[in-house]
Amino acid sequence: MVVLSSNLSSSLFSRVPSPPSSCSNCSRCFHFLPYLRISRTRVTVSSSSPSPFMDSQGRRFIDFPYVSEPHRQLMVELVTTVENHLEHHLLPCTLPPDVQYYENQTGTAHGSLNIRSANKSSPIDFILGSWLHCKLPSGELNITSLSAYLKPSTDAPHFLFELIRNSPTSLVLILDLTPRKDLVLYPDYLKTFYEDTQLDKQRELVHKIPKTQSYFSSSLYIRSVVSPTAILVRIEDKTGEHMEEIVRDELGPVAKEVLRVWLDQCACAKREVGESERALLKKRDSLIKIKTIEIDLGSNFPRLFGEEVAARVLGAMKEVFDT
């Protein structure tokens, strides 16, 4: 899910002309436009695959078909690691086929969305994976993401990973365990999930990569959501010849380690949360889901894919978020 890359995606998508409002074959969006409930058939898929639904060319969510091989391998490993580790918690994906995969009228933009909710007794809320491929006047844009959300029965952090490629010579990485409590008011929370886990060492490793710069969202609200150990970087390689090596050998191990920390220390952590605190966590989580997507996607995706498909996909997202 694209949640933190607002200034990058806005600058890219601003160059794309708006499609006609009558477009019926567009796609890829997330949530926050005015919610339109559209009747659709629920499709239950086998839990043996993250998303077996295929497009007309046989591509599935788990294939990540438009990115380089190192990028694809990293995404496949992250997704399968989460699914294997949480296999007893996760339910099959029930998104409609035209939400699991979608494309725009001209075939210049394609997307895939996979959401797996968890059983009622699990501390896991849902796992969300997606990929987006767009042909823009400035080149191709590829975004792959994996997010994991927890229920208010625990206050442990969520997981967020996003890798953005808008040219062969540059990338943006967003990787964090997003906090769910005020780190000033709750120093033990800071110590448990960020100091004791030594997450800042992973951030330091990434910043040692040549041509790495800090990446800043244009939204101050978004900046306030991430943790002190968040990895938000832009990496430039003028020739592009080392970029895939960087993804495979530098970013891959860091992403896997941060995911390991989340799975071991957060996903199924035994945390005592009272009823009043649960209500606050639920409210906070809901506000962040709505606000981050509203800031980034509310205008960009309808312009790229058209109102009809935007409403369909955003509606499916909102239905999951409101459950």
Residue 59's pLDDT is what?
60
Residue 293's pLDDT is what?
66
Tally: H helices and E strands in the chain: 10, 8
Residue 60's pLDDT is what?
81
Tokens in use for 260? 């390991």
Residue 3's pLDDT is what?
45
Q: Where are the beta strands (DSSP E) in the chain?
A: 101-103, 109-117, 124-136, 139-150, 158-167, 170-178, 212-214, 231-236
Question: What are 135's strand-pairing partners?
Answer: 140
Dihedral (C-alpha) 296, 301, 307, 311: value to the nearest 10 degrees? -60
Residue 32's pLDDT is what?
24
Dihedral (C-alpha) 45, 46, 47, 53: value to the nearest 10 degrees? -50
Buried b (16+ CB within 10 A) or exposed e, 252-268: bebbebbbebbbebbbb
Residue 217's pLDDT is what?
83
DSSP per position, 42-74: -----TTSS-----TT---GGG-TTS-HHHHHH
The pTM (predicted TM-score) of the whole model is: 0.84
- The residues of the chain scoring below 70 in pLDDT are 1-59, 292-293, 295-299
Q: Residue written as tokens 């605190």?
A: 277
